[in-house]
A and B are shown apart, each in its own frame.
Chain A
Amino acid sequence: MNKIFSILIIILFSQFQLLNAIAASDGEVEISSKKSDGQKVVKDCFETVNRGIFAFNQGLDKALFKPLAKGYRKLPQPIRSGTSNALNNLGNVVTIPNNILQGQIKDASMNSLRFIINSTLGIAGIFDVASYYGIEKRDREDYGQTLGALGVGEGCYFVLPVLGPTTVRDSIGSLANVAGGDAWYNVTVANNTQYFNESDYYFTRVLSGVDFRAKNLEAFDSLENTSIDLYASIRSLYLQDRQRKIENIDQATETMSDEDWEEID
């Protein structure tokens, strides 16, 4: 098992270096990204192409995801909460291994306990029984975050069709899901089981997107209406969010560098 894991990590890292080398050849725009040890830059290597894909995604959002999210919003609150709970519960199958990889043993235990309780007593995660018993929800973790926690840099920032903003590191992290790191993917797509179909996986992925979009309808509209460069705003928000998640920061005081404000008096 250890050997397989090591090979996987090596493959991931070599892919990362290759992608990074290719991507970095076109780097122009620098984005500041605060880290506890000072400022660093994240390059938007293919900005022209990225802006094109971003425009395509915006069109797709207007034509498909936004109307779907609006329709989803019309469902009764208990149905939406139940859906959201079930999707969150399913997310634990990726969070738990990443808790372990990051050495968060307590979080891994608590998430495992939550997963067991909610999957059984909570009927496939629809009801968050674990929270009722005082086992509170914890932050989600993914392989991109684990790579970040291990010290792997973001690499280039880019935008994927349909999936949206990402970095080289986060994309490689996502590949780990389909390389055996996501138990839900394994039982639906990777292996033939009599209980689940491939479509179940894709359905939950789309549903997660719609659920997220529905929760943020007003916030997205507001951002769109008040932004003078929406692409740059989304890029900034994405990178800030990833940084915060990788560093597992909960307090605003830890995320911000006062150096940023020093020159303003």
Chain B
Amino acid sequence: MKILKLVLVIFVSFLSSNISLAKNPSDLINDIVNEASLILKSSDPVESKIIKLNDIAERSVDINGIGMYALGKHKKSMSEDEKTKYKKLFKSYFLKSFSSRLVDYTDPKINVVSQKKINEKYTIVNSILEATSKRPQVKIDWRIYTKNPDKPLIRDLIVEGLSLARTQKEEFNSVIQNNDGNLNSLFKTLEEFLIK
């Protein structure tokens, strides 16, 4: 009987450890905003802040997905080797630009106001970056990829209606098109940005 109880307990704990709870997209944004806020207002050195912010980004942003989206039509003409190289370069580029954008803010106050499920794959979370004496209030919407409800990921930031992912896509397209469609020109530009 004791053995049976023990087996049951082990079985139940095993089951519960595998029952995953779908994370609400708004909670994801609240969590990362709070975490980032603590980092930004801390007295840590800038380098330390950047490492911590990058850690948040790697956990909560679909960097590969955004990278592929930003390539647009050019991704079809890429070889597997080029894709691997690009993914690595894009991740470094993304993290560098992400942290350098954020690190100047001391204590941004972002309040999640609502969310809207578009379909099974996407939910938009609406939030407000509170006004300061220097700038007015800013509306920020987050496109959350929810295909895996246990691990929702950010795919786009829409600031006052302007999609950053789309801007990125058009920027990359411009670099490639102005170099006769040569993908290596984009790689070179990204490498130059990283060593800047």
Contact = CB atoms under 8 A, between A and B. Distances in A.
Interface string B172-196: 1111011000000000011001000
A29 B101 contact: no
B174 A229 contact: yes
A240 B157 CA distance: 14
Interface in B101-118: 101, 104, 116, 118
Contact of A255 (B135, B136, B155, B158): B158
Given A226-B101, A256-B143, A249 B134 contact: no
A256 B158 contact: yes
A225 interface: yes
Contact of A222 (B68, B104, B143, B147): B104
A218 B135 contact: yes
B139 to A, nearest CB: 8
A31 B172 CA distance: 12
Contacts of A235: 170, 174
Given A215-B135, A240-B167, A261-B155, A232 B174 contact: yes
Nearest to B156: A256
Give the bracket for the number of chain A residues in contact with chain B: 35 or more
Interface stretch (B9-17, B44-52, B119-127): B119-127
B108 to A, nearest CB: 11
Contacts of B93: 228
A77 interface: yes
B97 to A, nearest CB: 4
A252 B141 contact: yes
Contacts of B96: 226
Nearest to A239: B170
A241 B101 contact: no
A253 B118 CA distance: 7
A186 to B, nearest CB: 30
A32 B73 CA distance: 12
A73 B126 CA distance: 29
B189 A237 contact: no
Given A29-B177, A228-B190, A237-B162, A252 B126 contact: yes
B84 interface: no
Contacts of B167: 233, 236-237, 240
Given A236-B171, A258-B122, A241 B161 contact: yes
A264 interface: yes
Contacts of B119: 258
A160 B134 CA distance: 28
A178 interface: no
B77 interface: no
A252 B128 CA distance: 13
B138 to A, nearest CB: 9
A256 B142 CA distance: 12
B37 interface: no
A225 B97 CA distance: 8
A232 B171 contact: yes
Interface of A: 29, 31-32, 34, 47, 73, 77, 215-219, 222, 225-229, 231-233, 235-237, 240-241, 244, 249-253, 255-256, 258, 260-261, 263-265
Interface of B: 65, 68-69, 75, 93, 96-97, 100-101, 104, 116, 118-119, 121-122, 124, 126, 133-136, 141, 143, 147, 155-156, 158, 160-163, 166-167, 170-175, 177-178, 189-190, 193
Given A240-B161, A251-B116, A260-B166, 12 more contacts: A29-B178, A217-B135, A218-B104, A225-B101, A228-B93, A228-B175, A231-B174, A232-B174, A236-B170, A237-B167, A253-B124, A264-B68
8 contacts: A32-B166, A225-B101, A228-B172, A232-B170, A236-B171, A241-B161, A252-B126, A263-B68
